[in-house]
Amino acid sequence: MPKSLSQGEVDSHTDPSAAKQYDSETPKEQQIKDLFNMIDGKKIGMLSTYRDGVGPVGRSMAVGKRSGPDILFLSNGHSRKFSDLEENKECQVTFQDSKTQDWISISGTATTVSNTDPRIKDIWSSPIRAWFGDLGDGTHDGSADDPRMTLIEVKAKYVVYYLTQVGLLGYMKEVGVAAVTGKVADTGVIRELDEKDIELARSME
């Protein structure tokens, strides 16, 4: 149910939506399991790198594999994202579910490797060829052995996510009642994982 706004929250410059939905009670192990389940249900994420003189630059990327809290992507080594990462390895991966309103933000650093990494063959699938093309020279053919095929591994440093705890109708009702009554909508939980939590997450898989 919507929660009342207090004068103290206004005076302390508190964001009531974030504060009232912040989850400090659920054990971290369960928060991590929920995060894994959420990521595993997403096929596409937004990978944002940082470009000098521009700022964050995002692009849609198919998730190759989740490895604990870390994300693996396959990409064309000729892509400009690699020159971004050469200058600044900090990056962000985000996911948004427009149906449930769940979202995930993973901040971390990206490591890139050559196409000799054996994980490429584990992640590669034939539809990936469609994004590379086949030069017809027996080398640049979009296969897992194509020298352009490059692995990006995003190692998480900080994760924040929102997990809706009401259905679509409940969400609409909660927001509607809050807007009319002047209370603050309470539709789910916001959870944070710091570096200590992320190391725990890596040990769980």
Domains of the chain: 26-164+197-203 (2.30.110.10)
Report d(CA 40, CA 30) in Å as an integer: 15
Task: Identify the CA nearest to 77 among candidates 101, 113, 44.
Answer: 113
Q: What are the Cα distances from residue 203, in Å, to 67, 73, 124, 199?
A: 11, 21, 26, 6
Q: How confident is the model at residue 135 (pLDDT cuts 50, 70, 90)?
A: very high
Q: Is the pLDDT of residue 129 over 90?
A: yes
Task: Identify the CA nearest to 39 among candidates 193, 195, 196.
Answer: 193
Q: What pLDDT, in 10s, does the model give residues 116-125?
A: 899 999 999 9
Q: How confident is the model at residue 190 (pLDDT cuts 50, 70, 90)?
A: very high
Q: Is the pLDDT of residue 17 over 90?
A: no
Whether the Cβ atoms of residue 198 and residue 159 lie closer than 8 Å to each other: yes
Residue type, 147: P
Whether the Cβ atoms of residue 188 and residue 101 lie closer than 8 Å to each other: yes
CB count within 10 Å of CB 81 equals: 24
Q: What percent of the chain has pLDDT over 90?
A: 72
Helices assigned H by DSSP within the chain: 7-11, 16-21, 28-40, 80-87, 119-123, 168-181, 195-203
Whether the Cβ atoms of residue 34 and residue 163 lie closer than 8 Å to each other: yes
Residue 151, φ and ψ in degrees, nearest 5: -95, 130
Helix and strand element counts for the chain (H, E)? 7, 8
Q: What percent of the chain has pLDDT over 70?
A: 94
